[in-house]
Amino acid sequence: MSPRIPAIVLGGTGYVAGELLRLLATHPHLDLAAVASDSQPDEPIAQFFRHLQPVLPHLRFAGHDEVVEYVTANPVTAVFSAAPHGVSAAMIDKLLAAAEQAGTQPRVVDISADFRFRTEEAYEAVYKHPHGAPARIAQFSCAVPEHLNTLHTPHVAHPGCFATAMLLASVPLLSLGLVEPRLFVSGVTGSTGAGRQPTAGTHHPQRHSDLYSYNALTHRHAPEVRALALEASGVDADLHFVPHSGPFARGIHVTVQAVAREPLTSHELVNALRDYYDQSVFVRVAGEAPRVKDVVASNFAQLSGVAHGDSVVVTCVVDNLTKGAAGGAVQWMNRMLGFDETAGLMQAAAGWT
């Protein structure tokens, strides 16, 4: 039996944090030790996330100083940051600096965007503000777990939810040389992707029974996906992305369209995707079109493809809170700590959500 590792969560009051807590509460190798929140210090977590009361009846939110104590008191700590971009990097930097002084070795998975780019200049070009900890960038790798077999850094940045689905669909096409390096992507996301703070885009009377695009061809995930696809495939693809807001709470549906280099059939395309993800437990490839309900509340992604003439289409569905955020982060942490990659993540999709 491997020793259990204490886990802490930064930015503990958002939807992604709530999903992290759900997964960590029953993880076989991680003990949820502290959940940091400056806005809700010492408040019961179950009062804020009422659906977690049966599994977290007594745990309370901690202040950030208390979290630093956990990191400095334990030889190894699993740190998950669900803090917003622009905030997460400085929080992580403070924890790592304290750990270095104490001689401890926390492992960090950042779910924000703060460590997704290789340079501070690339980050600042997209997010329009200074990076919170530029000296730490080299300590982080960014990729979906299925696209990076060997990790050479102590910490990981998990790609965003849209990015996860786009990368899973696009990288095989580019890596296998099946398509020209020009991708057209349409994606639909549920309202939880916009975060917990209510906005016009998440207000139920406006979002219900409606579908609309936003930030067409200018969304911040486009340069992130282009850079990560290049690292994973070796191909610098021109990417055109149009995101949409869907009338559901959880899930992402992405359609990637490209021009085939040589004619291929739908059967050949699906088989190529199957072969590419043959060793990836959480990626399923099917002949029929994937549906969001088949993956919601699970860490599974489902792909399918169609080819006709010189046109290639790959569709991918993921749960934005799980595979696209908290579940992918736990998957990374399992690998970083030497656990089975599937530990705590094999729950089936909820189905009739």
- Which residues belong to the active site? 161
Q: Which is nearest to 42 in space by CA: 62, 67, 68, 22?
A: 62
Tokens of 93: 């930097």
What strands lie across the sheet with 78-81, from one edge to the other?
61-62, 30-36, 5-10, 78-81, 107-110, 155-157, 140-142
In this structure, what DSSP letter does residue 3 have? Answer: P
Q: Is 238 exposed, middle or buried (0-12, 13-18, 19+ CB in 10 A)?
A: exposed
CA distance 93 to 112: 14
Cβ-in-10-Å burial (0-12, 13-18, 19+) of 186 comes to: middle
* Cα distances (angstroms) measured from residue 125 to each of 46, 56, 120, 122, 129: 39, 41, 8, 5, 8
CA 275 and chain centroid, separation: 23
In DSSP terms, 185 is beta-bridged to 241, 256
Q: 């349409």: which residue's tokens?
A: 186
The crossing angle, in degrees rounded to 10, of helices 64-73 and 88-102 is 40
Report how far residue 187's alpha carbon sits from residue 196's, in angstroms, rounded to the nearest whole number.
21
Q: Are 205 and 218 in contact, with CB atoms under 8 Å apart? A: no
Coil, helix or strand at residue 174: helix
221-233 helix and 161-175 helix, angle to the nearest 10 degrees: 40
Q: How many degrees, rounded to 5, is the angle at CA 112 between CA 111 and CA 118?
A: 100
